[in-house]
Amino acid sequence: MKIYDRAEIEAAIDPRAAIDAIAEGYAAFSKGEVTTPPVGYLEFQNPPGEMHIKYGYRIGSDVWVIKIATGFYENPATNGLPSSTGLVLVFSAKTGFPQALLLDEGYLTNIRTAAAGAAAARYLAPKNVRAIGIVGSGVQAHMQLDLLRHVTSCRRVVLWARDPAKARSFKVDGFSIEVADSTAALCKQCNLIVTTTPSREALIRASDVRPGTHITAMGADCPGKQEVEAALFAKAHVLAVDSRTQCFDHGDAVHALNSKVVPQDRFVELGEIIAGTAPGRTNDEQITIADLTGLAVQDIQIANLALRTLEKT
């Protein structure tokens, strides 16, 4: 079994190739070409923490992938470690033997999540992006913006974050960043918005969003979280989810369904839009939403991409 460390893995990932791989993975997922059992989960109390196991394979692939990710949010304060880490195992689907251990420390999860936002923007953002709105100031806020450079030429950014100090110090190479004092102000200026927070109440209000805007909601990854007001789903023209199963359980979409502002059949999967079996944006006046909760197929795709490069070097 080959073992690779974070530096090797970071060097092996080309961001454009990552976006392509994630888009291709979404399409394969929506076509039913991916086997991904329910996510495994452990919870810890003292200190509070959690562990997810995502695993599966593309049917016919030579390998399967197991991704283990952890979140122990008291780490930075109590022991100086990052709050999250992770690793990926790749096994042969021909022999069952382990082939590679990717000690990526969570980098692959971060980059595949950022690449998902970029893939959503590639397929749903309006042609002319006036300004990019970033909601949140954490790792994903930075990485989402960093990858958006590959799908839009817009370099003007409006940022809103709960913590004003973090908002003021936010920067990503090549982008000009202005801090908004409310999400309403952000929505007035931006027509490509990415939300990256762990919020439990809507940050993006239906009445604030202007025609032609695309919103990618990245933050809601477990029950109770919400970033987008349910009423915005009724106002939007394209309602995309990464997975109906997941988003109808714990995405932003479930809040819209529970409020009965839209029926289930208004939702399409992003992979269906990418595969051309569901319509995406058809003009620059439409509002579009992509609600992304995170799929094992992203881990499968990004691990395969990393390995293809690592095995050549």
Catalytic residues: 67
CA torsion sign, 279 to 284 to 287 to 292?
positive
Nearest approach in angstroms of CB 39 to its own copies is 9
- Could you say which of 32, 77, 79, 260 contacts its own copies (CB under 8 A)? 79
Distance from the Cα of residue 59 to its chain's centroid: 23
Which phi and psi (to 5°) does residue 209 adopt? -80, 130
- Which residue number, 97 or 153, has a Cβ lying nearer to its own copies? 97
* Residue 81 is a binding residue for its own copies (CB under 8 A): yes
Angle at 104 between CA 218 and CA 99, to 5 degrees: 115
Region near its own copies per CB under 8 A, out of 48-56, 149-157, 226-234, 248-256: 48-56
Angle at 227 between CA 234 and CA 111, to 5 degrees: 115
Binding mask 59-78 for its own copies (x = CB under 8 A): -----x-x-x-xxx--x---
Beta bridge partners of 267: 239
Query: Within 253-272, which residues bind its own copies (CB under 8 A)?
Result: none
- Could you say which of 7, 98, 249, 285 contacts its own copies (CB under 8 A)? 98
Which string of DSSP letters, residue by residue, matches 223-258? TT-EEE-HHHHHH-SEEEES-HHHHHHHSSHHHHHH
Largest Cα–Cα separation, the chain: 56
Region near its own copies per CB under 8 A, out of 38-46, 137-145, 182-190, 277-285: 38-46
- Could you say which of 51, 231, 234, 261 contacts its own copies (CB under 8 A)? 51
DSSP-derived pairing of the beta strands 98-103 and 2-5? parallel
Nearest approach in angstroms of CB 74 to its own copies is 9
* Residue 223 is a binding residue for its own copies (CB under 8 A): no
Instruction: Give how many residues touch its own copies by CB under 8 A.
Output: 37
- Could you say which of 4, 29, 55, 160 contacts its own copies (CB under 8 A)? 55
> Which tokens in the block code for residue 82?
């990052």
Region near its own copies per CB under 8 A, out of 42-50, 117-125, 140-148, 166-174: 42-50
Nearest approach in angstroms of CB 88 to its own copies is 12
- Could you say which of 8, 10, 101, 286 contacts its own copies (CB under 8 A)? 101
- Which residue number, 60 or 263, has a Cβ lying nearer to its own copies? 60
- Which residue number, 90 or 143, has a Cβ lying nearer to its own copies? 90
Beta bridge partners of 98: 91
- Could you say which of 42, 224, 258, 285 contacts its own copies (CB under 8 A)? 42
Beta-carbon contacts of 91 under 8 Å, excluding residues fewer than 6 positions away, are 63, 64, 65, 66, 97, 98, 99
Nearest approach in angstroms of CB 104 to its own copies is 11
CA atoms within 13 A on the CB side of 115: 27
Nearest approach in angstroms of CB 6 to its own copies is 12
* Residue 248 is a binding residue for its own copies (CB under 8 A): no
Rounded to an integer, what distance in angstroms lies between the CA atom of residue 215 and that of residue 172? Answer: 20
Question: Which of 113, 123, 168, 183 lies closest to 145 in space, CA to CA?
Answer: 113
Beta bridge partners of 228: 204
* Residue 44 is a binding residue for its own copies (CB under 8 A): yes
Q: How many residues make up the chain in this entry?
A: 313
What does the binding site for its own copies look like in residue numbers (CB under 8 A)?
1, 3, 35, 37, 40-42, 44, 47, 49, 51, 53, 55-57, 64, 66, 68, 70-72, 75, 79, 81, 84-85, 87, 89, 91, 93-98, 101, 103
